[in-house]
């Protein structure tokens, strides 16, 4: 098709394509052409598990995931487990500073961290599903800062931490609203960001959430393998840090 060769359709053609693929106006407004087009390829999984790959994966997830694509299917079996084992052999940390772009100040990161605290409270009070659009917008902002900003290593570490936590919260919100493929993509983005700063506890926590999601959707074999990984990796991490993800497992097994 012409757009696959770089041609951008005019507004009328894009509206016709959106109607054909049943993509709503609100979904189109969240992202730019051609990222709202239907696709079966999950966002943020094809990039290398390193610093450059993490920046690209976060940007792709922030650009593409929060669009309602009927063709999106949750990963199962080997497709689901491959990123987990890739993480296990590439746990990070990686380079955390950038020398080019617009300066990202510590004060701005202070505000981002306060916002995340507010989002957690909102999730506690009102449930995750209603917060997904806000969390996605927050993640998109932080991902842009990471990819295009200039920052010292200490600021970069806090930005990656923010991206990891926003991805985790967005994954839970997507899961809570029944958007399981989107939840997985947010979770994997969060694991990448956590790995960038060597936050093994948060990455293990996210593996636990993936295991609970697999169990809740009837994929018992996947859930057992994921929770086995979380249990094994948690031995490298203070137990209190991973308890929130694994505690519920004792009730369902």
- Please give the torsion angle defined by the CA atoms of residues 151, 154, 157 and 161, in that order, rounded to the nearest 10 degrees: -110
State residue 48's pLDDT score.
79
Q: Where are the domains of the chain?
A: 52-252
For every one of its 253 residues, what pLDDT tens digit does the chain have, with 9 covering 90 and above? 444 445 666 677 667 656 655 555 665 565 566 555 554 456 557 777 888 888 988 988 888 776 544 445 677 778 788 888 888 888 788 878 788 889 999 999 999 999 999 999 998 887 667 789 899 999 999 999 999 999 999 999 999 999 999 999 999 999 988 888 889 999 999 999 999 999 999 999 999 999 999 999 888 999 999 999 998 888 877 644 444 444 444 444 4
User: Rg for the chain (alpha carbons), in Å?
Assistant: 18
State residue 76's pLDDT score.
75
Q: How many whole angstroms separate alpha carbon 92 and alpha carbon 112?
A: 23
Distances (CA, A) of 47 to 56, 124, 189: 7, 33, 11
State residue 37's pLDDT score.
54
State residue 173's pLDDT score.
92
| Listed residue (83, 86, 177, 168) closest to 129, CA to CA | 177
State residue 20's pLDDT score.
54
Contact residues for 164 (Cβ-Cβ < 8 A; gap 6+): 190, 191, 193, 194, 196, 197, 199, 202
| Listed residue (193, 128, 200, 133) closest to 167, CA to CA | 193
Contact residues for 112 (Cβ-Cβ < 8 A; gap 6+): 138, 141, 142, 159, 162
pTM of the model: 0.77
Q: How many helices (H) and strands (E) does the chain have?
A: 12, 2
Strand positions, DSSP E, 199-244: none
State residue 18's pLDDT score.
63
State residue 42's pLDDT score.
62
> Which two tokens mark 115?
């916002």
Distances (CA, A) of 74 to 9, 36, 99, 234: 30, 18, 37, 25
- CB-based burial of residue 234 (10 Å sphere; 0-12 exposed, 13-18 middle, 19+ buried)? buried
Q: How many whole angstroms separate alpha carbon 72 and alpha carbon 40?
A: 6
State residue 17's pLDDT score.
59
What does the pLDDT look like over 5-20, one tens digit per residue? 456 666 776 676 566 5
State residue 150's pLDDT score.
93
State residue 67's pLDDT score.
58
């Amino acid at each position: 098709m012409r757009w696959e060769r770089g041609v951008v359709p005019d507004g009328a053609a894009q509206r016709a394509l959106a109607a054909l693929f049943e993509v709503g106006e609100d979904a189109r407004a969240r992202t730019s052409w051609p990222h709202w087009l239907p696709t079966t390829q999950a966002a943020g999984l094809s990039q290398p598990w390193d610093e450059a790959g993490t920046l690209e994966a976060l940007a792709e997830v922030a650009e593409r995931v929060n669009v309602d694509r009927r063709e999106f299917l949750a990963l199962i079996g080997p497709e689901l487990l491959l990123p987990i084992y890739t993480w296990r052999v590439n746990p990070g940390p990686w380079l955390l500073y950038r020398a080019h772009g617009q300066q990202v100040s510590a004060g701005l990161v202070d505000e981002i961290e306060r916002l995340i605290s507010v989002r957690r409270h909102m999730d506690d009070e009102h449930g995750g599903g209603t917060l997904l659009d806000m969390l996605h917008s927050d993640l998109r902002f932080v991902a842009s800062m990471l990819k295009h900003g200039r920052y010292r290593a200490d600021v970069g570490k806090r930005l990656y931490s923010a991206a990891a936590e926003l991805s985790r919260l967005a994954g839970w919100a997507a899961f809570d609203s029944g958007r399981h493929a989107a939840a997985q993509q947010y979770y994997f983005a969060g694991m990448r960001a956590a790995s960038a700063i060597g936050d093994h506890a948060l990455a293990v926590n996210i593996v636990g959430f993936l295991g609970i999601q697999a169990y809740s959707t009837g994929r018992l074999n996947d859930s057992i393998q994921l929770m086995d990984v979380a249990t094994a990796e948690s031995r490298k991490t203070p137990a209190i840090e991973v308890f929130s993800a694994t505690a519920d497992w004792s009730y369902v097994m």
